[in-house]
Amino acid sequence: MDFRLSEAKSLLAEGKWDGAYYLAGYAVEFAFKVRIIAQLMASESFPDKKLIDDFYKHNLMELRKTAGLELVMQQDDTVAAQWNIVKDWSEQTRYQIGKTEADAVSLVNAIESEVLPWIKARW
């Protein structure tokens, strides 16, 4: 996931806002998926079909819930504020043109400064 954030930062440096925004979100998606996998590895039970279906989606809100981090994140005011910037990311942004520098910088900063380190601390 760090490599996607690194690539997003490279695109920011080149002024490619749409690409930076798009790639940055994958860092969070991958982090949630690592958390989910770690939970599965620690469990002796077989995952239910809904968990498997949710795992293959790109919806950050659903992945946060599946990772068991929804309530905990809401209770942390600092990360919750940054999450409000990140939560609307979608893989569908690959088809969108028109993200501004502010959009891309805001997303990358929110991910790098708070959201990604917070998720990683809960693996």
The residue among 93, 75, 85, 71 whose CA lies nearest residue 115 is 85
* Model pTM score: 0.90
In sequence order, what are the residues at sequence separation of 6 or more whose Cβ sits closer than 8 angstroms to the Cβ of residue 86? 25, 28, 60, 107, 110, 111, 115
Q: Is the separation of the CB atoms in 17 and 101 below 8 Å? A: yes
Per residue in 81-104, pLDDT tens? 999 999 999 988 888 899 999 999
Per residue in 25-49, pLDDT tens? 999 999 999 999 898 888 877 777 7
Per-residue confidence (pLDDT) for residue 94, from 0 to 100:
83
Is 2-120 assigned to CATH 1.10.287?
A: no
Q: What is the rounded distance in angstroms from the CA atom of residue 106 to the CA atom of residue 16?
A: 14
Q: Where are the domains of the chain?
A: 2-120
